[in-house]
């Protein structure tokens, strides 16, 4: 008889190879996005530093940030947390490409001058000599991906970054980028309520030996709390803009959560743990990076590594959460995703 989940020993966080270029990370990372706003006001710095230290001591050593988070302030926070010998214990990922101007407007940039300036800025804010994994956060559709990758390749050669990643890139963009310099990881939204990447992007990554980093594996909190989540939204919570949280879609989407929750209850785990376990069962090349601002949630997320799913349970979950089961787009209109990530060819760009 299978023991109830609560009776299981505390999960250990195993290590995994991310991609085929040599990067090794904890099999579950920590997304730092929510620490610096977006899902409400920024959280108190001392509490977030304690959370980061607790994660490291618990075996979660793969941290994900970006110049866009804050903007800028999340990298500063992480830099403070990694002082005093902590840097050597972690794998540090950050991103460039979403530039917030003085007027607050967002601009996607991938030109070489920006790539270099952004990297220098991140190094300074983080207080480190190198970045383990440096992603292009969103693809600049005005600049050939080969040009952006050329500058990233130089940064690798200079020792400022170790590995290169892409976020929200199409399959063809990934192929073109990988031809210039090996891509170590692609970051994409993958969860029980965001499965569209399974058709083309995931197979492309696997064909090329590229690791997969799943962001928002808990559906921005929906797979943890369900529709009651919106009751906790503050006026500055960005999730109010997401189509899937709109009333006309939420009523439908709550049915999905209820089904997932029923399965979790049978398993003796939480819906969050079930959702993370499903991601872990997708393959040894997948690393989810759930975000949280609470130590208790971090501890619960780590325990997802102990949840074992049968083939029948996986099939049941996937029948409930097929790609068309969720109502509403992943992002609001106009926000760039992999579907709008094609860049001009080098020849056409040079000709212009």
Query: In this predicted model, what pLDDT tens digit does every residue of 216-260 receive, in sequence order?
Result: 999 999 999 999 999 989 888 999 999 999 999 999 999 999 999
| Average pLDDT across the chain, whole number | 94
Q: How confident is the model at residue 1 (pLDDT cuts 50, 70, 90)?
A: very low
Catalytic residue among 69, 114, 134, 163: 69
pLDDT for the residue numbered 11:
60
Q: Does the reported pTM lie above 0.85? A: yes
Say if residue 345's pLDDT is above 70. yes
The fraction of the chain above a pLDDT of 90, given in percent, is 89
pLDDT for the residue numbered 102:
75
Instruction: Identify the CA nearest to 289 among candidates 198, 188, 210.
Output: 188
Least confident of 6-20, 126-140, 203-217, 279-293: 6-20
Catalytic: 69? yes
Query: In this predicted model, what pLDDT tens digit does every residue of 13-31 receive, in sequence order?
Result: 999 999 999 999 999 999 9
For 13-351, CATH gives 3.20.20.100
Query: In this predicted model, what pLDDT tens digit does every residue of 65-121 receive, in sequence order?
Result: 999 999 999 999 999 999 999 999 999 999 999 998 777 789 999 999 999 999 999
């Amino acid at each position: 008889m299978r023991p109830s989940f609560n009776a299981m020993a505390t999960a250990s966080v195993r290590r995994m190879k991310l991609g085929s270029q040599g990067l090794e990370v904890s099999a579950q990372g920590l997304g730092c996005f929510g620490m610096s706003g977006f899902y409400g006001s920024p959280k108190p710095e001392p509490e977030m530093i304690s959370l980061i230290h607790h994660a490291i001591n618990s075996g979660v050593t793969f941290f994900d940030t970006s110049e866009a988070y804050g903007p800028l302030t999340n990298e500063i926070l992480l830099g403070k947390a990694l002082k005093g010998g902590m840097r050597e214990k972690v794998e540090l990922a950050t991103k460039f490409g979403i530039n917030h101007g003085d007027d607050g407007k967002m601009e996607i940039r991938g030109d070489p001058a920006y790539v270099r300036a952004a990297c220098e800025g991140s190094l300074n804010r983080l207080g480190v000599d190198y970045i383990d994994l440096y992603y292009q956060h969103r693809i600049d559709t005005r600049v050939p991906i080969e040009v952006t990758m050329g500058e990233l390749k130089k940064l690798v050669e200079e020792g400022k970054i170790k590995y290169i990643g892409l976020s929200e890139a199409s399959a063809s963009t990934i192929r073109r980028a990988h031809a210039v310099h090996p891509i170590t990881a692609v970051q994409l939204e993958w969860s029980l309520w965001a499965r569209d990447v399974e058709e083309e992007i995931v197979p492309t990554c696997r064909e090329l030996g590229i690791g997969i980093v799943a962001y928002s594996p808990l559906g921005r909190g929906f797979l943890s709390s369900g529709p009651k989540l919106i009751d906790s939204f503050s006026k500055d919570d960005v999730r109010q803009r997401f189509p899937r949280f709109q009333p006309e879609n939420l009523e439908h989407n709550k049915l999905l959560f209820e089904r997932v929750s029923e399965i979790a209850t049978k398993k003796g785990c939480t819906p969050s743990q079930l959702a993370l376990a499903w991601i872990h069962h997708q393959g040894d090349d997948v690393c989810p990076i759930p975000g949280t601002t609470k130590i208790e949630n971090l501890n619960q997320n780590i325990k997802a590594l102990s949840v074992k799913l049968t083939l029948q349970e996986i099939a049941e979950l996937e029948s409930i959460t097929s790609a068309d089961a969720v109502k509403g787009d992943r992002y609001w209109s106009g926000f760039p995703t992999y579907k709008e990530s094609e860049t001009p060819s080098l020849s056409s760009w040079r000709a212009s």
